[in-house]
Amino acid sequence: MTIATELPAFDPSSTSTPPADAAGRGTDGHAAPITMLNPDFPFSYDHYLAHPDGLGSVPPELYGTEVAVIGAGVSGLVTAYELMKLGLRPVVYEADQIGGRLRTAAFPAAPGVVADLGGMRFPVSGKAFYHYVDLLGLQTQDFPNPLAEATSSTVIELAGKKHYAEKPGDLPLFFREVADAWKAAVNDGAKFVQMQDAIKARDMARIKDLWNELLPLMDEQTFYGFIAASDSFKKAGFAHREAFGQVGFGTGGWDTDFPNSILEILRVVYTDADDQHRFIRGGAQRLPEALWQHAPSDMAHWPAGTSLSSLHSGSPRGAVGKISRDQDGNLRIRERWGREASYPAVVSTCQSWLLSTRIHTEEALFPAELWTAMERSHYMQSSKTFVMVDRPFWKDIDPETGNDILSMTLTDRLNRATYLLDNGPDQPAVILLSYTWNDDALKWLALDADERVELMLHSLEQIYPGVDIAGHIVGQPITVSWEADPNFMGAFKANLPGHYRYQQRLFTHFKQDRLPESQRGIFLAGDDVSFTAGWAEGAVTTGLNAVWGVVKHLGGASAPGNPGPGDLLDEFGPISLD
Ligand code: FAD
């Protein structure tokens, strides 16, 4: 639960979308749920995926045609999986491991105990993401966010003052005022309630009307500028703004996003992306791995039992080193170690900076404005450090206070956020000692894992004097700084003010009918091309855009009763600013 929004009526065991009528009511009479219906392009990808007519077709003479897919993260594998189902032959290239930023690491001393290094908590409003989670039979569970029902207790420690809460109402009134100020700011300044109503009703026209009016006003505004200019926070004063940066909404700790465009934040809060999170049992990487292994039953062309793994004899091809165009118009891919192949279409799902920094990509393949958009992309830094402990000892009760001895913690100290991840009583458990962003993440960059852990334990000792966390640690810590990994160079994109035009170019590039022939056939996907970077939903949905683009490019079409994203883009897609 967030402290800034009310908990909607919702059954957490269900992630499926009940059918909604035009008034946004489900057939059971309850309000339809919020979905990640992005206001820039409120296309219902979940309905598109669930439609019995499927995602379209290619002419049978094209069955078996190879299409290159760069990257075996969730975006690349959704793309490859759907292309395979249509009878094409995806050829996946991967520089490192299957999973990308849904990477899960196991503690060597107890390989069943895992840590999600990238994406770890997935909002139930991300219906396209859960389409694949459900299809592949993965089990999910409530994620222990601050003040969530799955969280036994939360400590907020600000300027040395500690507040213990088992539910939001346990916090001092001050935090209620902070939450109310935020609610008022998004209602007054960004039509929050109207937008959520339109999203619940899946009223595309209304969503677009509301958003298109706000967009030009908001594109030049930072997140911080937005709250500082709001009447509610002006009235409340600096201390409330400061605390909002610490506890924020949903996952808390949003002040490292303060320089980003307010549009990015509005997309998150309108769609409940920061609320009602679940994690995948066994680790997030299970999803891309299952996509790789799964043999769909309803495929064109391929015999039963065919999977991405079987089409690749068990392993993707290697890292891509070069992309160019042959004389005959095909796209040529050279792997870093020399093997070459050419394709009528290529989908690139790696972070787009890599197309200029790590892959020698022929400049003429993209319009100059698109290169500008890629180069101007702004990536967040992020660092996580995990330790394994012998058992979930934080459930022990302090006899003096009656409180848990250790809680999910939000603090303004170095650690910023500490999460407690339970694997059951008397089982080894995991503490995510510190999860940080941007400047906070850069403080860890130059330190090794042990140095990081020492400092993090020092911070926690100040908050929980006398609690011997170190005495419970077993095995080696696991740490990651995504900006230090050459296959990513950052955690994920977050647009700065004035970046809307770049984002619009990147997102709409999959519809190529206005491009010259010489720039067609190469598609961008992945969460940094989406309007919701940092959420796996954006990786999935841009993969589906690329599938639509490839089908169209090769001479195929959408199913007549199930228009695809490119069919509705002109009508409902992101508007152009001047
Ligand atoms: P990637 O996963 O980056 O896949 C691209 C792939 O391309 C990688 O596997 C990479 O190795 C590969 N590659 C790179 N260069 C080459 C090359 N030259 N040749 C071949 N392959 C190459 N999302 C959520 O929904 N919830 C969360 O809680 C959440 N938290 C996050 C926290 C962190 C710290 C991070 C980093 C991400 C988080 N995300 C979260 C975002 C989520 O992880 C991403 O949206 C998603 O994993 C992106 O998938 P992708 O396929 O677009 O890109």
**168 CA → ligand 1 middle, Å:** 33
Shortest-distance Cα residue to atom 40 of ligand 1: 119
Which atom of ligand 1 approaches the CA of 480 most closely?
34
pLDDT-derived band at 264, boundaries 50, 70, 90:
very high
Average pLDDT over residues 551-563: 97
Q: What is the mean pLDDT of residues 420-447?
A: 95
Q: How many CA atoms lie within 13 A of 176 on its CB side?
A: 8
Tell me what the mean pLDDT of segment 152-178 comes to.
95
Select from 96, 101, 380 the residue to mutate for testing ligand 1; criterion: most ligand atoms less than 8 Å from CB.
Answer: 101
- Distance between Cα 464 and ligand 1 center (Å): 35
pTM value > 0.90:
yes
Confidence of residue 391 (pLDDT cuts 50, 70, 90): very high
Give the pLDDT confidence score for residue 300 in this predicted structure.
97
pLDDT for residue 31: 60
**Closest atom of ligand 1 to CA, residue 534:** 41
Q: Which residues line ligand 1 (CB under 6 A)?
A: 70-76, 93-96, 100-102, 118-122, 319-320, 349-351, 354, 358-359, 382, 482, 487-488, 491-492, 526-527, 534-536, 538-539
Please write the tens of the pLDDT for every residue from 16-28: 344 433 233 343 4
Burial of 304 (0-12, 13-18, 19+ CB in 10 A): exposed
Do 546 and 522 form a contact (C-beta atoms < 8 A)? no
Convert the pLDDT of each residue in 126-149 to its tens digit: 999 999 999 999 999 999 999 999
Q: Kindly report the protein residue whose alpha carbon is nearest to atom 38 of ligand 1.
A: 119
Count CB-CB contacts under 10 A for residue 212: 13
Q: State the closest ligand 1 atom to the C-alpha of 117, by its place in the atom list counted from 1.
A: 34
Strands (E), 259-339: 277-280, 320-325, 331-335
Going 385 to 389 to 391 to 395, the CA torsion angle's sign is negative
Report the distance separating Cα 314 and Cα 308, nearest Å: 8
Write down the mean pLDDT value for the chain.
93
For every residue of 143-199, DSSP letters joined together read ---TT-TT-S-EEEEETTEEEEESSGGGS-HHHHHHHHHHHHHHHHHH-HHHHHHHH
pLDDT at residue number 334: 98
Residue 351 Cα: closest atom of ligand 1: 3
Token code pair at residue 402 = 């009656």
Residue nearest to atom 5 of ligand 1 (CA): 350
- Contact between 527 and 534 under an 8 Å Cβ cutoff? The reply is yes
pLDDT at 72 over 60: yes
pLDDT grade, residue 13 (50/70/90)? very low
The confidence band for 426, taking pLDDT boundaries of 50, 70 and 90, is: confident
Q: Are the beta carbons of 532 and 261 closer than 8 angstroms?
A: no
Give yes or no for residue 394 having a pLDDT over 50: yes
Instruction: Say what the pLDDT of residue 347 is.
Output: 98
Q: How far apart are CA 419 and CA 432, in angstroms?
A: 5
Rg (CA), the chain: 24
Q: Which ligand 1 atom lies nearest to the CA of residue 537?
A: 25
Choose among 349, 247, 358, 283: nearest CA to 116: 283
Collect all residues with Cβ–Cβ distance below 8 Å to 171 and sequence separation of at least 6. 3, 156, 163, 165
Q: Residue 14 pLDDT more than 80?
A: no
Span of 32-36, 113-117, 369-373 with lowest mean pLDDT = 32-36
For the four alpha carbons of 508, 513, 515 and 521, in that order, the dihedral sign comes to: positive
Within 10 A of 446 (CB to CB), how many other CB atoms are there?
9
Residue type, 194: Q
Mean pLDDT to the nearest integer, 306-329 = 98
Full 3-state SS string of 397-443 = ECCCCCCECCCEEEECCCCCEEEEECCCCCCCEEEEEEEEEHHHHHH
Q: Which atom of ligand 1 is nearest to the CA of 75?
A: 51
Cβ neighbours, 10 Å, residue 511: 19
Averaged pLDDT for residues 491-499:
97
Checking if the pLDDT of 5 tops 70, the result is no
Mutate to test the pocket of ligand 1, among 131, 256, 315, 350 (most ligand atoms within 8 A of CB): 350
Q: What is the torsional sign of CA 276, 279, 280, 281?
A: negative
The backbone region for 328, taken as left when phi is positive above 0, alpha when psi lies in -120 to 50, beta otherwise, is alpha
Tell me the CA–centroid distance for residue 77 and ligand 1, in Å: 11
Query: From ligand 1's centre to the CA of 510, what distance in Å?
Result: 19
What is the token pair recorded at 121?
Answer: 């908590």
Q: What is the pLDDT of residues 200-226, one digit of tens each?
A: 999 999 999 999 999 999 999 999 999
Give the 3-state secondary structure of residue 267.
Answer: helix
Q: Which ligand 1 atom is at minimum distance from the Cα of 349?
A: 5
Task: Identify the burial level of 213 via C-beta atoms within 10 angstroms of its C-beta, where 0-12 means exposed, 13-18 middle and 19 or more buried.
Answer: exposed
- Number of the ligand 1 atom closest to the C-alpha atom of 129: 25
* Spatial distance between the Cα atoms of 531 and 535, rounded to a whole number of angstroms: 9
**pLDDT, mean of residues 319-336:** 98
**Token digits of residue 86:** 């249509």
**What does the DSSP 8-state code read for residue 26?**
B
pLDDT band for position 252 (50/70/90)? confident
**Distance from residue 101's CA to the centre of ligand 1 (Å):** 3
Which residue, judged by its Cα, is nearest atom 14 of ligand 1?
A: 487
Residue nearest to atom 30 of ligand 1 (CA): 119
Which residues are registered as beta bridge partners of 417? 410
ipTM of the complex in this document: 0.99
Tell me the per-residue pLDDT of 221-244, one tens digit each, with 9 for 90 and over. 999 999 999 999 999 999 999 999
The residue type found at 390 is D
pLDDT classification of 11: cutoffs 50, 70, 90: very low
Please give the DSSP secondary-structure letter assigned to residue 158. E
Phi and psi torsions of 4, nearest 5°: -100, -15
CB-based contact 420:429 (threshold 8 Å):
yes
Distance 530 CA to ligand 1 centre (A): 12
Instruction: Return d(Cα 207, Cα 276) in angstroms, integer.
Output: 22
SS3 content of the chain, % helix, strand, coil (to 5): 35, 20, 45
Which of 470, 466, 445 has the alpha carbon at shortest distance from 457? 470
Burial (CB < 10 A; 0-12, 13-18, 19+), residue 298, is exposed
Q: Does position 420 have pLDDT exceeding 90, yes or no?
A: yes
